[in-house]
Each structure stands twice: as structure tokens, then as C-alpha cells.
Amino acid sequence: MDVLGRYRNLIVLVGVLFAQILGLAVQVNVKRTTDSEPTRLIRIWAVGMITPLEKALVWAQTSSSNVWHDYFYLRGVRAENRGLKQQIERMSLERVRISQDADQARRLQALLAFKEQFISATMAAQVIGGSGSELSRVVFIDKGYNDGIRPDMAVITADGVVGKVLEVYRIPSTSKVLLINDQSSGVGAILDKTRTQGILRGTASGEVVLEKVMSDETVPAGEMVLTSGGDGVFPKGLLVGKVTKVAPGSELFLNIHVRPAADLSRLEEVLVVTKIDERQAEPDQTGAARAVDILAERLPAIPSKPEDAVKSGVPGTVAPGTVAPGTVAPGTVAPASTGSDAKPKAASPQASTASGAPAARKPASSASSAGTGSETSSATPVTRTTAAGAAKVPPKPVKAAAAPKAQPAVEDSPH
């Protein structure tokens, strides 16, 4: 008994350490044998104690911040509003170009019977806390089971992928999100241009690396990394980050460092992807918005077409939607159909958005590459005009077997 009394502290220490090591061994074994570890009661208690405080603090912080930003800090709002309006205009034009590309892609996918995934529902959530450990890169969000959040849902921001939901709690309604820079996370990734696939993993120091890319692949620094959709969590095509460094690694693989697009150290609000739909790709039947319509909205008025010019029988065609008032595209390629459902082919708003000029100043080569198929250009006449006026350079219709009768050119009135 004397020995027990003398070494009582040491015996208790050994006992407590032994119990914890035993518990640790059991957990490690469970994790190795099963895919998902059950949520321990102690985690629920801990989360129940800590996260309500975090929620309260974040709520107070957000409320005070909103009061400041909504009522006191309104300087420069008008200028910002003007800038945003201009940005919307530019983006609307850009959207037309992208929708044309997307439409073409959908047609091709439909031909190949591809199934596409798209995000159909998201839920905004606020980041309320973290784990407090550098070896466990997780964050807690203020939405949980009661809000419809479930494990393995993708979490993103406007900038890029953040992580996935790891655990979901009912009371308090909160969720634990595993960030992509944690060493236990894995994201199926693909390089944007080279289409090389790999697995994105975090490291102990919080960096993100792309693994399983063979060393004979060429991966340039600066290339975008997207989700490949192969992991079953993240839909394909979401931006993950950018390649920052490529070095030879071990076992014939490259060591590719990636900088996450989302700032993982300063997360405030995130989107949880609550629903991903998968459907057969179908070509868009509704018809994309036309660039000319958007351009027309920016202009005070569009002069009506002079009837005599239409009746004059000048050979050549001006595609609907390809010519902005005041300018005529050199080498504009008209679509085969000039009906109301015809899509604009040559107007590339990219050029106009860059220069601020109307859409139809793009040269023929780039115009034809921006979604205009070769079959369209071979079957339709080409209009060659200058910005000064359509009549200065008489267009020569391209003869093709299926070419319709040359339609009269419409002279654009100078703007």
C-alpha cells in the first residue's frame, strides 16, 4: 500500500495515458476498416458547447458591420453603381459569346450522348469557427442538418472550391467542412488546357498539391486547375486554383503545387451545393440572346432599314445580329438561315468588350473561330465591307452548291 501511495500520481498518469492511447487505437482501427467514422458523442457535446458562442459572436459582428455598411459607409456608392452598370453591360455581351460556345458544346454533347452535371441548388452559409489546430483544417458553418445539409456536399465560394461537408449536427444546427488543403482531403482535378487529370491533396503545412500526374506530362505554371467530377462530390468544371510550381517528384510523378482560388484562410461566407442534377445534354432550343439586341439596348435608337437599299439587289448578305449600327464587320460570316431563330455568328463581343467598341469589329478569321462552323461559311455568302460603308467594296458572293440566292446587302447608316 505504501508503494501505491507513494507512486499514486504516476500510476494515475499511466492509467489516464493508457486509456487515451487505447481509445486512440480503437479509433484508428475503426477508421481503417470502415469508410466513415461514426460521430462520437464527445464531439457533439464539444460542438454543442462551442458553436453557439461562435454563432452569437458572428451574428453580433455581422449585425454591427451591416449597420455600418448600410447606413454610415455609403460614400462612393453612386460611382460604384455606375461602374457596376458598365460592368453588367460588358458581361452581358460576354455572356452572348459564351452562350454561343455553350450551345455548340451542348449540341456536340447531345450527339455524343453525354450526361452533364450542373449545380441546381445551393445554400449560403456563414463560417463561424475553425478547429483551432493546424493539423485539422476544418471550419464550422452555421447551417446543419435542420437546414438540409448532408455529409459529402460540396462547399464553394464565388472564387473557387473550398471543401466538402464532413459532419452534420442537428443541435446546434451546424456542419463541419473539410477544407481542400487538409492532408486527409482529396479532390479529383483536371488541368484546364492540357486536360491532365490528377488528385488534389492538402499537405501538413496547409499547401495544396496535385498528385498522380506522370512526370512525362507538361504542366505549365499558371495553368488553371478544375474539378474533374470523378470524386462524386464536386461537379465537373469548378475552379480549384492555379498551378504555381512544378517540380519532379518521387516515383515518376510530378510535384505540382497549386494555389487555391478561394482564400481558405479568410473564409466568411460559403455556398453549400445541396443539389446536383445530371441530365442528358440537349441543344438549347430557346435561342440565345443576340449580341445586336444587347447592343441595341445601349443605343438611343436604331434607324429603320431603308427599303430602297433592300430592294436594290446588291449582292451579299448581312447577318442579323452581326452588324452593330455604325460599323460593319469585315469578313462577317452570315448564317445559313436568316430567319428569326437564326443565331448571330460573327459578332464577337469579346473584341468589343475589350475596346469598348461595338461588337462587329472582329476580323474574319477570329469571327469564324468564335462559334461559326465551317459548314456555315461554305454555304453562305460572305460580305466584305468596310466601316466606312457597305457599298464601297462590292462583295463577291461565294458560290456553293447549297447557297441560297444572294440576298441584298443592307447598307448601314452611319452612326
In the complex, the residues that contact other proteins under the rule CB under 8 A are: 8-9, 12-13, 16-17, 20-21, 23-25, 27-28, 31, 40, 42-43, 45-47, 49-50, 53-54, 57, 127-136, 138-140, 166-167, 176, 178, 182-184, 203-205, 265-267
Least distance in angstroms from the C-beta of 51 to other proteins: 9
Nearer to other proteins among residue 47 and residue 291 (C-beta): 47
Least distance in angstroms from the C-beta of 134 to other proteins: 6
Q: Which single residue is written with the C-alpha cell 452570315?
A: 334
CA proximity to 409, closest of 291, 328, 342, 304: 328
Nearer to other proteins among residue 165 and residue 334 (C-beta): 165
CA proximity to 42, closest of 150, 133, 169, 179: 169
Least distance in angstroms from the C-beta of 415 to other proteins: 53
Least distance in angstroms from the C-beta of 151 to other proteins: 12
Nearer to other proteins among residue 132 and residue 248 (C-beta): 132
Nearer to other proteins among residue 166 and residue 323 (C-beta): 166
What is the C-alpha to C-alpha distance for residues 80 and 84, in angstroms, rounded to an integer?
6
Q: Where are the alpha helices (DSSP H) in 168-301?
A: 291-298
Nearer to other proteins among residue 122 and residue 183 (C-beta): 183
Nearer to other proteins among residue 15 and residue 303 (C-beta): 15
Q: What are phi and psi of 330, to 5 degrees?
A: -70, 130
Least distance in angstroms from the C-beta of 215 to other proteins: 21
Nearer to other proteins among residue 65 and residue 120 (C-beta): 65
Residue pair 151/163 in contact (Cβ under 8 Å)? The answer is no
Count of Cβ atoms closer than 10 Å to residue 74 Cβ: 10
Least distance in angstroms from the C-beta of 219 to other proteins: 23
Nearer to other proteins among residue 144 and residue 321 (C-beta): 144
Residue type at 125?
Answer: A
Instruction: Tell me the sheet residues that pair with 273.
Output: 122
Q: According to the 3-state scheme, what is the secondary structure of 349-368?
A: HHHHHHHCCCHHHCCHHHHH
CA angle, 225 then 226 then 230, to 5°: 125
Residue pair 384/367 in contact (Cβ under 8 Å)? The answer is no
Residue 265, judged by CB atoms within 10 A of its CB (0-12, 13-18, 19+), counts as exposed
Query: Helix, strand or coil for residue 5?
Result: helix
What is the C-alpha to C-alpha distance for residues 300 and 90, in angstroms, rounded to an integer?
17
Query: Which residues have C-beta within 8 Å of that of residue 233, sequence separation ≥ 6?
Result: 152, 153, 154, 164, 187
What is the C-alpha to C-alpha distance for residues 247 and 327, in angstroms, rounded to an integer?
50
Nearer to other proteins among residue 133 and residue 304 (C-beta): 133
Least distance in angstroms from the C-beta of 58 to other proteins: 9
Least distance in angstroms from the C-beta of 201 to other proteins: 10
Least distance in angstroms from the C-beta of 156 to other proteins: 18
Nearer to other proteins among residue 12 and residue 252 (C-beta): 12
Residue type at 92?
Answer: S
Q: Which residues of 200-210 are buried (b: 16+ CB within 10 A; e: fewer)?
A: bbbeeebbbbb
Least distance in angstroms from the C-beta of 13 to other proteins: 5
Least distance in angstroms from the C-beta of 182 to other proteins: 8
What is the C-alpha to C-alpha distance for residues 345 and 332, in angstroms, rounded to an integer?
8
Q: Which single residue is written with the C-alpha cell 463577291?
A: 396
